[in-house]
A and B are shown apart, each in its own frame.
Chain A
Amino acid sequence: NAGVTQTPKFQVLKTGQSMTLQCAQDMNHEYMSWYRQDPGMGLRLIHYSVGAGITDQGEVPNGYNVSRSTTEDFPLRLLSAAPSQTSVYFCASGTGGVGEKLFFGSGTQLSVL
C-alpha cells in the first residue's frame, strides 16, 4: 500500500534552474495539494486540485506551477528556482473535494543555492 509517493527525497538546485517535484497517489483521491514547511511557519498551502483538470492557488503560489492531467499525479514545477524556495515540500491527498483528512507523502527537501 504505497499511499502518497513523492520523488525525489532530496534535491539541490542552483538559482535560476527549473525542476519538477513528482507526486503520485494510489488511493483514487480527487483532492491533492502541495505544502511547504519552513521553520516557525507551519505548513503553507501552495496549490491544490479538486480533480483532474482543475487546479487553484493556495496561500503561497508565486514561483510554482501545477497541472492535474490524471487523478493519480500532481506534479509541482519550479520554473526558475530562488533561494527563498529552499524548503521541505509535502504533497497530500484526500477524499472528495473536502480534504479534512489528508494523507501526506514523506516530503522532498529542496535546497536552492
Chain B
Amino acid sequence: DQQVKQNSPSLSVQEGRISILNCDYTNSMFDYFLWYKKYPAEGPTFLISISSIKDKNEDGRFTVFLNKSAKHLSLHIVPSQPGDSAVYFCAVKRPGNKLVFGAGTILRVKS
C-alpha cells in the first residue's frame, strides 16, 4: 500500500532550465508535506515543506506546489544548477507524526 508515489524514477534537465519533480499521495488526511534531497553517501537533508492550508511555498530557487483536490505535490527548481543533481524524496506526515517517504526521483542537471 504505497501512500506516497513518485512515478518518475529519474529526470534529466539542462542547466538553467526548470526542473519539475512530482509526487502523488493517497490520503486526504495528510496535513504536512516535505521534500528532502540526498547526495550519494550522505543522509537526506531537508529542502522545503508546505502545510495543507497553503497551496504554494517558496524558498529561493525552490517552490513547492500543493494541489489538494488532485492529491498532488510538485517541486520546481528554477534555474536548475549542476549542484542540484541528487535524489529527491517527497514525504508526508501521517497522524502520529510519522513521516512516509516516496521512492525518490534521481535528478540530473546537465551543464
Chain A residues in contact with chain B, CB under 8 A? 4, 31, 35, 40-45, 48, 50, 58-59, 90, 92, 97-107
18 residue pairs from A and B, CB less than 8 Å apart: A31-B97, A41-B103, A42-B102, A42-B103, A45-B98, A45-B100, A48-B98, A58-B98, A59-B100, A99-B93, A99-B98, A100-B49, A101-B34, A102-B44, A104-B45, A106-B41, A106-B43, A107-B43
User: Which of A31, A42, A106 lies in contact with B4, CB distance below 8 A?
Assistant: A42
User: Which of A41, A59, A90, A97 lies in contact with B43, CB distance below 8 A?
Assistant: A90
What's the Cα separation between A41 and B102 when bound, in Å?
7
Nearest chain B CB to A2 CB, angstrom units: 13
**Does A40 lie within 8 Å of B103, measured CB to CB?**
yes
Chain B residues in contact with chain A, CB under 8 A? 4, 6, 9, 32, 34, 41-46, 49, 89, 91, 93, 97-104
What's the Cα separation between A58 and B97 when bound, in Å?
11
A to B contact number (C-beta, < 8 Å): 57
User: Which of B32, B42, B46, B101 lies in contact with A43, CB distance below 8 A?
Assistant: B101
Nearest chain B CB to A7 CB, angstrom units: 13
What's the Cα separation between A58 and B49 when bound, in Å?
22
What's the Cα separation between A59 and B4 when bound, in Å?
14
User: Which of B41, B99, B102 lies in contact with A99, CB distance below 8 A?
Assistant: B99
**Does A107 lie within 8 Å of B49, measured CB to CB?**
no
Nearest chain B CB to A106 CB, angstrom units: 5
**Does A99 lie within 8 Å of B97, measured CB to CB?**
yes
What's the Cα separation between A45 and B43 when bound, in Å?
15
**Does B46 lie within 8 Å of A102, measured CB to CB?**
yes
Chain B neighbourhood of A103, CB < 8 A: 46
Query: Given A40-B9, A100-B93, list of 11 further CB < 8 A pairs?
Result: A42-B6, A43-B91, A45-B99, A45-B100, A59-B100, A99-B98, A100-B34, A100-B99, A104-B45, A106-B41, A107-B41
